[in-house]
Amino acid sequence: MSSEQIEKAYRDSRESFSRLGIDTEAALESLAAISLSVHCWQGDDVAGFEKSGAKLSGGGLSVTGSYPGRARTADELRQDLGKAYSLIPGRHRLNLHAMYGEFGGRAVDRDAVSPAHFQGWADWAVGEGHGLDFNCTCFSHPRADSGFTLSHRESAVRAFWTEHVKRCRVIGAYFGRRTGSACYHNIWVPDGAKEESSDRGLHRALLADSLDEVFAESFPPDELRDSLESKLFGIGSESFVVGSHEFYFGYALSRGKILCLDMGHFHPTESVADKVSAILQFFPELALHLSRGVRWDSDHVVLLGPEVQSLAAEVVRGGALDRVHLGLDFFDASLNRVAAWVIGARAVLKALLQALLEPTVRLRTLEAEGRTFEQLAWVEELKTLPYGAVWDYHCLKHGVPPGMDWVEDIRAYERSILARRGT
């Protein structure tokens, strides 16, 4: 579709929305200000760069598929990210894991990582205008093989992981200073057991003590923000997870930290969207990891569907776009990895656009007045409005291929770059 056709379609759609009292220009302005945190680990199947040929192991995590073209170096990963960013409208962040440092071929254990190992990432982010977020990596390591890290019974093991997380917070603060944008450092640990535990309280007390030690050093909030991510279960921790939702809710609330909700880390019948307004009653900020679970926490690529649409709607309806940090979190090695980033990010942004084009005040008024059938009629009418034309115009304004035009870009990139890497 030509730019003239896109602009005409947008003008027609703007008129359709305007008749219903919806301002598309205001919605597009709000959408342009949203910055997603794009996760690095989709590009290399959560392998990292600590050693050549490394693969994800432990922590209840699993990556399936062997699509060719996996990034093998930091330069290749940055190259792939650059291609993905070029096909996603807006200016977005990058979310790094500690295992993605550039170690110069030397063996650097997790308790020895430092900002020097991430200078290349900081230089790249500053040059490209991306904010940086960070995660400690408490899996794929011999000291995590028991299934416990910060809540391990042995003090030496806990000390190792505590030191690692402390150093990751220092790196996060470094990122915040370098980019001029606060780094969100997220803590997720795989701690738990395959079989029933007779001493759950002990492990949770140890985790709380370890976290208190981790947070003993404070950093300016414009450099570093701390979040904690819960999980229902994982492979190898089916019966007991130390860092449950209830544990982290209580810990984060009592220590002034941010709670992180991953869409795949709850029971399939639970609604993460429903939790947003409840949590924001008590927390000034909330972090969300956007994923798509298929039967379990399978980290499938995000698609535009009811779960992400409901989540986006709750954030927008609550006027919480400035209080909620949105990050992608999926990894799929069965398809083109760069395309996965683009599909997931564009799906989230489309969901946010739909939410921004909702006449929230009108719907609330109808609900307050008990005019239920009218409220439902509006909700149904909104489903068939021409969102696609507004989305294509948003892409056009940001110099990004609209519609399906980006697919050929990915195909060309695969032929010229990814195919040469092999599996």
Catalytic residue positions, numbered: 188, 229, 231, 262, 265, 289, 297, 299, 329
Long-range CB contacts (< 8 A, 24+ apart) of 359-364? Answer: 359/20, 359/21, 359/22, 360/316, 360/317, 362/21
Residues 6+ apart with CB under 8 A from 41: 48, 97, 100, 331
Q: Which among 80, 153, 105 is positioned nearest to 416, based on CA atoms?
A: 80
Torsion sign across C-alpha atoms 333, 334, 337, 342 = negative
Calpha distance 408→412 (Å, rounded):
6
| Number of other CB atoms surrounding residue 373 within 10 Å | 8
Calpha distance 368→374 (Å, rounded):
12
In this structure, which amino acid lies at residue 56? L
Cα distance from N-terminal residue to C-terminal residue, the chain: 35
Calpha distance 397→369 (Å, rounded):
39
In this structure, which amino acid lies at residue 340? A
Q: Which among 93, 43, 37 is positioned nearest to 63, based on CA atoms?
A: 43
Q: Which residue has the tokens 């602009």?
A: 7
192 beta partners? 241
324 beta partners? 286
Calpha distance 347→353 (Å, rounded):
10
